[in-house]
Amino acid sequence: MAKKGEERKEAILEITEQLILRKGFSGTSIDDILQQAKITKGGFFYHFNGKNDLAKALMEQYLIQDDVFFKQLFARADELSEEPLQQMLIFLKFLAQAMGDLPDVHPGCLVASFAYESEHFDEEVKQLAAEGVRSWDALFMQRLQAIAETHPMRFDVDIEELATMLTTVIEGGILVSRVLNQQQILVQQIQQYRNYLRLLFSNNH
């Protein structure tokens, strides 16, 4: 029974994420969720205390999934090279390919979506979103620092800012791709960041 309950909760989260990315948080009502998930109001409140509790669960799940996604790509890159710059370049190639292989334009980022409507959330949800962005930056910065230890830069660049730049490229690429309905924009921006790293760190790669 517990397993069935967890499956129902996961289904509610998946359906709600799709609705929010399409309609926004404020534009998604509990009735919308009930209708799409085919559950009763009692079934909904069995799993969540309300929309803010649902938002917290969504954000926690989204950040875990993103962390797993990035780390899996890095693990694949690490299997192909032991050299830090090459590992990062391979990771970015895999990331661009993964975005290009999506069946349609990227559906959007829940962190960005929540940021646009931050007035609807309590501080705990806002902090989760901020922690998510910081965790992406930290993951990228760790890799970039390893590169900087063995590769001279052509010009002085702050590694922390360089890590945040990749987060911004991904988030901005998702947004512009959706606005213009052109999937390749996100792919191209990741590829341009990859080119920038090659130019920044060495003549030999």
Can you give the residue ranges of every domain in the chain?
1-48, 50-201
User: What is the structure's pLDDT at 118?
Assistant: 77
Closest CA to 191 of 174, 170, 177, 176: 170
- Tell me the mean pLDDT in the region 12-19: 90
Give the amino acid at 2. Answer: A
Q: Which residues touch 22 (CB under 8 Å, ≥6 apart)?
A: none
Q: How far apart are CA 189 and CA 170, in angstroms?
A: 8
Token readout for 160 is 């922390």
pTM: 0.88
Q: How far apart are CA 54 and CA 50, in angstroms?
A: 6
User: What is the structure's pLDDT at 107?
Assistant: 73
- Tell me the mean pLDDT in the region 98-125: 81
- Tell me the mean pLDDT in the region 3-32: 85
pLDDT in tens, 173-204: 999 998 898 989 999 999 999 999 999 997 54
Closest CA to 186 of 125, 117, 112, 84: 112
- Tell me the mean pLDDT in the region 149-175: 94
Phi-psi region of 50 (alpha: psi -120 to 50; beta: other; left: phi over 0): left
pLDDT tier for residue 26 given thresholds of 50, 70 and 90: confident
H-state helical runs in the chain:
2-23, 30-37, 41-47, 51-80, 84-100, 110-116, 123-148, 159-180, 184-201
Q: What's the fold here for domain 1-48?
A: Arc Repressor Mutant, subunit A (1.10.10)
Q: What's the fold here for domain 50-201?
A: Tetracycline Repressor; domain 2 (1.10.357)
pLDDT in tens, 48-83: 888 889 889 988 988 999 999 999 999 999 999 999
pLDDT tier for residue 4 given thresholds of 50, 70 and 90: low
User: What is the structure's pLDDT at 205?
Assistant: 43
Long-range own/partner contacts, residues 34-41 (CB < 8 A, 24 or more apart):
37/11, 37/12, 39/8, 39/12
Is the per-residue pLDDT at 5 higher than 70? no
